[in-house]
Amino acid sequence: MATHMPDSTSISSRDLRWPPERFYWSIVESTAPRPAGWADPDTIGALAEDDVPIAASDTRDDPSDSSPLHAAYARLDDRRLLVCAVERAHLDEVPPSTLTLAPSALPECLGGEAAIDPATLNLLVGPFEPREVRRARSTRHAVSTLGAIAATTLLCLGLARHTDALRTQTRTARVEATSLVTQALGRSTAKPPIVALNEELERIRLAGTRPSRVTHDAALALDHVLAAWPAGCTPTMLAVSPDAITANVVVEDRAVLNGLVAPIGFEAKPPRLSRVERGTSVALRWTRVQNAQLIELPIAPPIAPKEPTP
């Protein structure tokens, strides 16, 4: 289906509307459903060849090498497109200030098949697109690109500042952690805090598995020895430590030695005897029994020697 009548025009502002009789019309049908964005010029040109001889080279660099017709398309459904074409020579007559060119109405021959707005069939596209429209689109693209660059720059600056803040917090946390480890260990360390803490915990754990050494009070042992010290026993040396008691005494009667009893928690070693001018010199030694604890007992007063019976 094709109709064409020349010339009659109508102009409204910068949007030019021509009567439908100035255009060629055709409905292109496809045997298979097409995607929503289907408007391939090669396919449309081949399908509309019987009604409107549209070449598929409308977008080539040299328009004179293409068909004498220039077309616009509008979708009717997923199988059909409405083709509106006009002679290229007529488009050369369009004033340069015009932004759009479209039919003022649809032809009566279409009946009610095409319920579309004729303004969507703008012919000033492709090689006939107005410079002002092309310039406005380029400006929009440039502004969008600059906006994207500016947004990316601001995002990078924000990320950089956030990174610096995180690094500052990390340094502060590392200093505080080192200070806490120094306080816990009681000394400074060049090792990382977590390493120093792990080593200290391991040392404490190993120390807890070894038997602890009990510290005894040497004064308590000495108190028990002196409390039970017999009369008639003259000391020449007395040494007391937490684990041993050593004494050198001189006695005239060896029976006095029976009063030198080892304190609780100690055991007596064999004495060493030697003769001296005033009697017998005895070297005594008591050593603490392993794992024994000294029990504090009430100290009995020393027994006074009995007077000899005349």
The residue whose two tokens read 């060849």 is 49
Q: What are the pLDDT digits (tens) for 111-168?
A: 666 678 888 888 888 888 888 888 888 999 999 999 999 999 999 999 999 999 999 9
Tell me the residue ranges of DSSP E strands in 88-199.
Answer: 100-103
Average pLDDT over residues 72-88: 82
**265 CB-near residues (< 8 Å, 6+ apart):** 216, 221, 288, 289, 292, 293, 294, 295
Q: Indicate the pTM of the whole model.
A: 0.43
* Contacts made by residues 72-78, CB under 8 angstroms, sequence distance 24+: 72/102, 72/121, 72/122, 72/123, 72/125, 73/28, 73/39, 73/44, 73/121, 74/114, 74/116, 74/120, 74/121, 75/38, 75/39, 76/27, 76/113, 76/114, 76/116, 78/33, 78/34, 78/36
Q: Where are the chain's structural domains?
A: 10-129, 134-209, 218-288
**221 CB-near residues (< 8 Å, 6+ apart):** 240, 242, 245, 263, 265, 266, 294
Confidence (pLDDT) at 253: 76
Q: What are the pLDDT digits (tens) for 89-102?
A: 888 888 888 888 88
Q: Tell me the residue type at 62.
A: D
Q: What are the pLDDT digits (tens) for 237-280?
A: 888 887 888 888 888 777 777 777 777 778 888 888 888 877 78
Tell me the CA distances in angstroms from 88 to 133, 253, 275, one per residue in order. Answer: 19, 152, 150
| Average confidence score pLDDT of the chain | 75
Confidence (pLDDT) at 27: 83
Cβ proximity of 94 and 124 under 8 Å: yes
Q: What are the pLDDT digits (tens) for 212-231?
A: 555 667 777 777 777 777 77
Higher pLDDT, 69 or 43: 69
